[in-house]
Amino acid sequence: MKSLATITEKDIETIKMALNDSVSDMNMELKGDLKSTKREDILKYKVKYTQVLEKLSKNPSIYALNDFEIDIAAGGLNDAIELLEENLTDDLDEQEKNDIILYKEDCIRLVNILAP
């Protein structure tokens, strides 16, 4: 098991990017026709992800987060991984594919640290 102390500033930026990507996807989902319970669930997660993102933006340290918020960050990373898998399509050039793969690998590594 890796320690939270191994998380770097670059890793915090990756976490923030993943949370932002997840929130953006939620915004797109919310524009669609959803059942009220599904809409409420998405809104709850959007609020949680946004709060953790804002907290990390003010204090870019994993130690700024409590255990619950670390779990939320791990959830945002998992959601971002799913989005990356969906967006890894054949119409991308090699550089775009490589960038997505590297970002996904960073997200997976961070999930393994945050939610062992």
| Whole-number Å distance between alpha carbons of 83 and 76 | 11
Q: Which two tokens stand for residue 97?
A: 């594919």
Please name the residues in contact with 85: beta carbons below 8 A apart, sequence gap of 6 or more: 104
Residues of the chain with pLDDT under 50: 1
Whether the CB-CB separation of 4 and 63 falls below 8 Å is answered with: yes
Q: Tens digits of per-residue pLDDT, 9-18?
A: 999 999 999 9
Q: Which two tokens stand for residue 101?
A: 């793969």
Q: Which two tokens stand for residue 7?
A: 């998380």
- Total domain count, the chain: 1
Residue indicated by tokens 């959601």: 79
Q: What is the pLDDT of residue 35?
A: 93
3-state secondary structure at position 100 = helix
Q: What is the pLDDT of residue 1?
A: 45
Task: Give residue 75's domain range.
Answer: 4-114
Q: What is the pLDDT of residue 28?
A: 93
